[in-house]
Structure 1
Amino acid sequence: MSFEATYADFSADPARLSNADVTLHRARPAGSHLVVDAGGSVTLEFEVADPEGVPQVTLTVTALVSKSGRSPGYAPVDVLFQGEALAEDLTVPGGGDLPQDNVFAVPGRLLRRGTNRLEIRSSAEARTMLRLYRITLDPVFERGRSERARTAEAARDSVFAYRTERRPAHAAASAPWQAAPRLLFHVDRGERSLPAQLGWRGTDGAEAALSFQSNMSDFHGCYRTADGTAYEYRGRLTGRWPFTAETENLSTAALHRFRTEEGWGGGWHASEELRLLVEDGAVPVERVTWRDQRGNSGVAVLHGDSAEAEVTGVEASSELRPAHEVAGNLLEDTRAKWLAPDDTAHLDLTLARPTAVASYSLTTANDHPDRDPRDWTLYGSHDGRTWTPLDTRTGETFDARFQTREFTLRAGVRDGAGAGAGVAAETAGYRHYRLDITRNGGAGEVQLARVRLAAPAGGQAFTGYYQRHDEGPIGYRGTPAPASPGSSAHHLAVDLETAAQGLAETARTLTALASRLRLV
């Protein structure tokens, strides 16, 4: 018996197909599904090398009928295999928001060696549309094999970006949604399963919890800001990629890679690498929780030894001394602020010792969002006179008063490549740093409540638990994983090594040329 995993997944465009060719008639892709109009059909042809020993095939058709006003809709279908009807005028459930699995038994006698043909027809009498999400076929004793193969293939694209919106909790159903920062995330421990739920907590105490559609097209959840304000939270998928060194560069937040261990049987045992990335436009995360579509779940609480750089002094290009809104307030853990009576300004921070800074954070002040910085450049200097650009930002916004946002220094800025998406990079060990604010939100003043510089972390670890479907929870922990081939750090190391070899070769050439010149 030879029967490959066979499926057609219409939740992607183009559709994901395995051992299948699909022909459409009066049907069209609609993002997360196919729309089949009245009288339309979808024909799937697949190969069977040897049908011997297959007494029955399990056919699963995942579909939904669109509504008609308050009616659940009407779009009966015929299901034919090799032209023989398995079902006629079948009424697929409709009216809901989630597709339904419709399971059929295909007699083994209908299987042919070579090409086999399955056809799904929407009745010419249909009054609403048939939405077709996926089709899978498996030998009866291997039910679910094609679905597992489909989800594993879909899970290859494991970096997700969403356009998000929020509105206050308990608002009226007609209340408008407000645009919120992009959500970008990647959670992968090598099990090739799509996430079903995701939650996180930021270092400022803000929290989010959300659940995804099975095809990852949308999510819905809740969000609570650092000050305790609760919101409904939803998002629409805008991009999805496999994890590579290039897609790692899509985020300005830190990607965490951990060498992990699982605790069971009285000891700790090595397990797959865990990668975590959550960027929601706010501060870094300190806890991530997830559950995948197979029912596995986990929690990782991050901890490490990153240290705030010791700033011994700060001077501003201008400040409002009569109101005590001076630069020195930026170093205090209070809500006092610094205000410059101009729409541009700069701050010079002096450190106790030369320090390589990996990130910095800005905290908004108590009022007037139009005084918040929008465009700025962070510079470093050894002597306080000659400045090197380290990080440039344009069009940045803040969502709330006393909101803290952290910015990771990005590669390419120091080379004059601008502030495009790049890998996180540490600066040289400068003693002086300048924040040059070149544009604000439109007011005649610039203000901030706090500025912090952060030295590179010595490495973050995590502690948590993991629970496989239908099993009990086990211990789960991790330590920073070394850079692997394909990672940004690895590529940087290779580039440096190549450059060093090139310089060595140049030196040898120049030495040989000098010797020849002496002989002349």
Structure 2
Amino acid sequence: MSLQATFADFSVDPARLSNAVVRHDRAEFGGSHLTLGAGATVTLDFEVADPEDIPEATLTVTALVSRLGSAPGHAPIDVLIQGEALAENLTVPGGGDLPQDNVFAVPAGMLKPGTNTLEIRASAEARSTLRLYRITLDSIDERGASERALAALAARNSVFAYRTELRAAHDSSATSWQEAPRLVFHLDRDEHSLPAQLGWRGEDGTESAISFQSNMSDFHGCHRTADGTAYEYRGRLTGGWSFPEGLEETSAAGLHRFRTEEGHGGGWHSSHELRVLVDDGVAPVERVTWRDQRGNSGVVMLQTVPGEAATDARVADVEASDEFEEVGETADNLLNGSRSKWLAHDDAPQLHFTLAHSAVVTSYTLMSANDSPDRDPRDWTLEGSYDGRTWTRLDSRAGETFNSRFETREFRLRAPASGYRHYRLDITRNSGAIETQLARVRFVEGAVGRAFTGYYQRHNEGPIGYRGTPVPTPAPASAPLAIPAPLLAADLEAAVQSLTDTAQTLAALASRLRDS
């Protein structure tokens, strides 16, 4: 092959390169592209074995020009090969909204054996910036080879993270875009194909549908909130990784793994494992739809099924409407497992808990503190929230009492809470004191899992049934019971005191026996 697939993909840092060495001056990585200011240059060196075998080459430069307020930007470029102009003072079309493919025919006479040099120069008269996303170069006889090679390389990554923005529907102002939560997704059924389109519905009723650039650098789409308000939705790639890299704990908790079956020929047949994660920073998903770049598509609708044993949900943060900081009786003590406590100078305080990840809570426990039973909570409500702003009542209690100090009571929810990440305990009355206290609060994740039903459709074929059940999680190795150090120390001190009292009693008894 006289000209290998040649590309430079600037949507990631470092850039993905094939048959290319890149240098640049006064350009910098902008998160999903190279940003070129006035007078900046990008130079790409590539190898050609024998230009006589190349009747013509196709050069594609994918770029956009940033806007100047509400007006199109101005950042013309020159494109040169071996220092000879292929295009001069070219204005990239598009108005600064989406990257554009600018395609050039490269005559064979401009190529030479060995190292060739392509240079892109931003005009010194530029008044806005040029965003350079990628460069591809192919022989006309191997049209699209670089795009295919780049897609295959990019497909090694299946975990993607995007910085996102929302703008009210029908608002065309460039300044109306507002920052939105980060989007992390991973969808893999072992077909090594990147998604072209993705849609999902959250358990809170929100819906989103997006379409990607072929190199995954950007997406554009729409979003609807639970109250029906519609928004334009867009995102820029901030990272791509192979599974399971790039999954933070908050995102990994939303990952679903399924053993799958496909329905055709009158029966069900085992298929590849499916992994699905869509974390948009709002609510867990209940439905996901997709189409990949090969034209295959599918839909999965999640459903709750019996799962593994119940476990404690990990609380990442707790805030209280009031706490006794001067003596260390703060809300953090509710999480550490010791016999320290939280005390509020209020007979009706609130506690706001943020879990490390969304959890389906089936019960919660409260532990009374060390003294003053009249400080015990008596009436309260528990509420859950996806975003920490909109709350749903989950449980309400009145007239509750604790029979002893450091007593733990469990309260079951009538229906398992949806996958909320925020929980608010609103204590509306205590047992008569002007202060309120607790020693510990914990939340119990229910014994539930996720299965799905849906369909799958391969390119140019009819739809078939598609269903899945959770992949079993290996049971953790048994470990010794861990006792928090402060609690262990307190118990040992109590044991020592008890032994001392017993010894004193026995000594007194022995003295009386000697005297009798």
Give your verdict on TM over 0.5.
yes
Corresponding residue number in structure 2 for 1:400: 390
Evaluate the alpha carbon distance shift between residue 207 and residue 433 of structure 1 in structure 2; reply closer, same or farther with a 3 A threshold.
farther
Structure 1 residue identity aligned to 2:7: Y
What's the offset of the Cα at 1:185?
2.1
Q: Is the 8 A contact 1:66 1:72 kept in 2?
A: yes
Structure 1 residue identity aligned to 2:39: G
Spell out the pairing of 1:94-113 with structure 2 (5 A cutoff): 94-113=94-113
Structure 2 residue identity aligned to 1:343: P
Q: Is the 8 A contact 2:63 2:132 kept in 1?
A: yes
2:247 is paired with a residue whose SS is helix
What's the offset of the Cα at 1:97?
0.8
Q: Is the 8 A contact 2:6 2:19 kept in 1?
A: yes
Structure 2 residue identity aligned to 1:230: T
Q: State yes or no: 1:474 paired with 2:473.
A: no
Evaluate the alpha carbon distance shift between residue 445 and residue 208 of structure 1 in structure 2; reply closer, same or farther with a 3 A threshold.
farther
Corresponding residue number in structure 1 for 2:361: 361
What CA deviation, in whole Å up to 9, does each residue of 1:137-163 have, x standing for no partner? 112122112112223323333223456
> Over aligned residues, Cα RMSD in angstroms?
4.7
Q: Is the 8 A contact 1:342 1:446 kept in 2?
A: yes
Corresponding residue number in structure 1 for 2:258: 258
What's the offset of the Cα at 1:285?
2.7
Give distance in 1, aligned partners of 2:135 and 2:366: 54
Structure 2 residue identity aligned to 1:223: R
Structure 2 regions of 5+ residues with no counterpart?
A: 311-345, 353-357, 368-383, 396-407, 413-421, 431-442, 481-516
Q: Is the 8 A contact 2:162 2:184 kept in 1?
A: yes
What CA deviation, in whole Å up to 9, does each residue of 1:424-476 have, x standing for no partner? xxxxxxx98568xxx987976499xxx9963233x6243213243xx244215
1:146 is paired with a residue whose SS is helix
Corresponding residue number in structure 2 for 1:319: none
Evaluate the alpha carbon distance shift between residue 475 and residue 74 of structure 1 in structure 2; reply closer, same or farther with a 3 A threshold.
same
1:210 is paired with a residue whose SS is strand
Q: Is the 8 A contact 2:167 2:233 kept in 1?
A: no
Larger mean CA deviation between 133-142 and 29-38 belongs to 29-38
Q: Which one has the largest radius of gyration?
A: 2
TM-score after normalising by structure 1: 0.60
Corresponding residue number in structure 2 for 1:510: none
Structure 1 regions of 5+ residues with no counterpart?
A: 311-339, 347-357, 364-375, 380-393, 406-430, 484-488, 501-520
Give distance in 1, aligned partners of 2:198 and 2:120: 36
Q: State yes or no: 1:3 paired with 2:3.
A: yes
Q: Is the 8 A contact 1:185 1:277 kept in 2?
A: yes
Give distance in 2, aligned partners of 1:150 and 1:98: 20
Q: State yes or no: 1:65 paired with 2:93.
A: no
Give distance in 2, aligned partners of 1:64 and 1:180: 23
Spell out the pairing of 1:6-45 with structure 2 (5 A cutoff): 6-45=6-45
Q: State yes or no: 1:454 paired with 2:455.
A: no
Q: Is the 8 A contact 1:158 1:242 kept in 2?
A: yes
Q: Is the 8 A contact 2:158 2:241 kept in 1?
A: yes
2:251 is paired with a residue whose SS is coil
Give distance in 1, aligned partners of 2:71 and 2:176: 27
Q: Is the 8 A contact 2:282 2:387 kept in 1?
A: no
2:448 is paired with a residue whose SS is coil
Q: Is the 8 A contact 2:55 2:108 kept in 1?
A: yes
Corresponding residue number in structure 2 for 1:78: 78
Q: State yes or no: 1:242 paired with 2:242.
A: yes
What's the offset of the Cα at 1:93?
1.8
Corresponding residue number in structure 1 for 2:223: 222
Q: How many residues align?
A: 390
Give distance in 1, aligned partners of 2:61 and 2:234: 27
Corresponding residue number in structure 2 for 1:463: 454
Q: Is the 8 A contact 1:362 1:404 kept in 2?
A: no
Evaluate the alpha carbon distance shift between residue 252 and residue 92 of structure 1 in structure 2; reply closer, same or farther with a 3 A threshold.
closer
What CA deviation, in whole Å up to 9, does each residue of 1:193-247 have, x standing for no partner? 443432222345443333446644565421232xx44342646555543212772
Give distance in 2, aligned partners of 1:87 and 1:138: 18
Spell out the pairing of 1:174-323 with structure 2 (5 A cutoff): 182-203=182-203, 205-212=205-212, 215-217=216-218, 219-225=220-226, 228-232=227-231, 234=233, 236=235, 239-244=239-244, 247=247, 249-251=249-251, 253-260=253-260, 272-281=272-281, 284-303=284-303, 305-306=305-306
Q: Is the 8 A contact 2:163 2:183 kept in 1?
A: yes
Spell out the pairing of 1:102-141 with structure 2 (5 A cutoff): 102-141=102-141
Give distance in 1, aligned partners of 2:462 and 2:394: 35
What's the offset of the Cα at 1:83?
2.9
2:54 is paired with a residue whose SS is coil
Evaluate the alpha carbon distance shift between residue 3 and residue 273 of structure 1 in structure 2; reply closer, same or farther with a 3 A threshold.
farther
Evaluate the alpha carbon distance shift between residue 307 and residue 229 of structure 1 in structure 2; reply closer, same or farther with a 3 A threshold.
farther
What's the offset of the Cα at 1:173?
6.2
Give distance in 2, aligned partners of 1:58 and 1:250: 44
Evaluate the alpha carbon distance shift between residue 198 and residue 36 of structure 1 in structure 2; reply closer, same or farther with a 3 A threshold.
same
What's the offset of the Cα at 1:21?
0.7
Evaluate the alpha carbon distance shift between residue 21 and residue 240 of structure 1 in structure 2; reply closer, same or farther with a 3 A threshold.
same
1:28 is paired with a residue whose SS is strand
Give distance in 2, aligned partners of 1:400 and 1:199: 23
Give distance in 2, aligned partners of 1:213 and 1:377: 48
What's the offset of the Cα at 1:276?
0.6
2:148 is paired with a residue whose SS is helix
What's the offset of the Cα at 1:395?
12
TM-score after normalising by structure 2: 0.61
Evaluate the alpha carbon distance shift between residue 177 and residue 121 of structure 1 in structure 2; reply closer, same or farther with a 3 A threshold.
closer
Give distance in 1, aligned partners of 2:175 and 2:14: 35
Corresponding residue number in structure 2 for 1:88: 88
1:247 is paired with a residue whose SS is coil
